[in-house]
Amino acid sequence: MGIVELKSIDKSFGKNEVLKSVNLDVPEKKVFGIIGISGCGKTTLLKIMVGFYKPDKGTVSVNGKPLGKIKIKDIIGFATQSNCFYPKLNVEENLRYFGSLYGLKSKAMEKNINDILNLVGLKDSRKQIAENLSGGMQRRLDLACSLVNDPKILILDEPTEDLDPALRKQMMALIKKINSFGTTIIITSHMLEEVEHICDEVAIMHNKHVIEVGSVGKLRKIYGDKEEVHLRLASGNYDKIIKGLDKKDIISCEKDEKCLIVYTKKAKEVFNDLMNLADKNKEEVLSIDIQKPNLEEIFEGLTKK
């Protein structure tokens, strides 16, 4: 049993059905990703988890108890896509305000604020007005506000949206650090490469449903056991190589002037075949390697099915 369980969740807004028969089991102390195209219901699902929306049908439980019978604010922290802090307050004032909403006593509040400012790297900016912070610092402040109650479960909706690559990398490292302290993290993102690297398990949403859940390794097996062999030749001439391949081992090939990609279920055999063909045709091999399908390819393959 997971720390968060959703069973047979349906949700509509008027005639617009957003979620249908959604089941999820979020493992404790892991980073759990939810992916899907825009408008597939990811944010709605998160808001049902924190009690902002009530499902039309189905149940939500946390730590084995129905959501309505627990104090959500004692267990869950939530950061939305849009910043939740108050721009005219400074960093420390924002944390004190959110701490008061959670009902923190003064001693606990002081400790939590100091710990969190150290964690998110805002200790030296505690007196700075929020609207004057950089975009990356504002995102960290938003994360800090969701952590002020020291939640067991942290829910983050697109936490790296609108950040540049360097800041996204910093945010992912921070999320991983928070998880290392035993916090269960549920994250949505359209940055599938990030999800692949940070999440222990991933749920794929499509057409109102969760269609698959599992580690990236498990999803690869569901998607198919094909692998990719990437070959780069100095000449960029791949026609003779393709012609000489043993077709029974090949699913398909793609090529351009930079690279040949061979899709196969027998990667080692194809790897050796390509090396032999390159040698036979006196081609200079710049690089050759075996790659497994990434999460984006898995997502596309499973949603097409």
Q: Which string of DSSP letters, residue by residue, matches 219-257?
A: HHHHH-S-EEEEEEESS---HHHHHHS-GGGEEEEEE-S
Contact criterion met (CB below 8 Å) for 53 and 41: no
159 SS3 class: coil
- The reported pLDDT for the residue numbered 305 is 66
Contact criterion met (CB below 8 Å) for 58 and 6: yes
HSE, side-chain direction, 13 A CA sphere, residue 88? 0
The helix (H) or strand (E) run that includes residue 179 is helix 165-180
Phi, psi of 59 (to 5 degrees): -130, 150
Model-level pTM?
Answer: 0.84
- Residue (of 232, 249, 228) closest to 292 by Cα position: 228
User: Consecutive 10-residue runs of the chain (305 residues): their mean pLDDT?
Assistant: 93 96 96 93 95 96 92 91 92 96 91 95 96 94 94 95 89 94 95 92 95 91 82 92 88 86 90 94 93 86 79
Domains delineated in the chain: 4-214 (3.40.50.300), 225-304 (3.30.70.980)
Pairing of strands 184-188, 153-157: parallel
Q: How many DSSP H helices and E strands does the chain contain? A: 11, 14
Q: What is the dihedral of CA 186, 192, 197, 201, to 10 degrees?
A: 40
10 Å Cβ neighbour count for 81?
Answer: 15
Fill in the amino acid letter for 91: V
Contact criterion met (CB below 8 Å) for 120 and 139: no
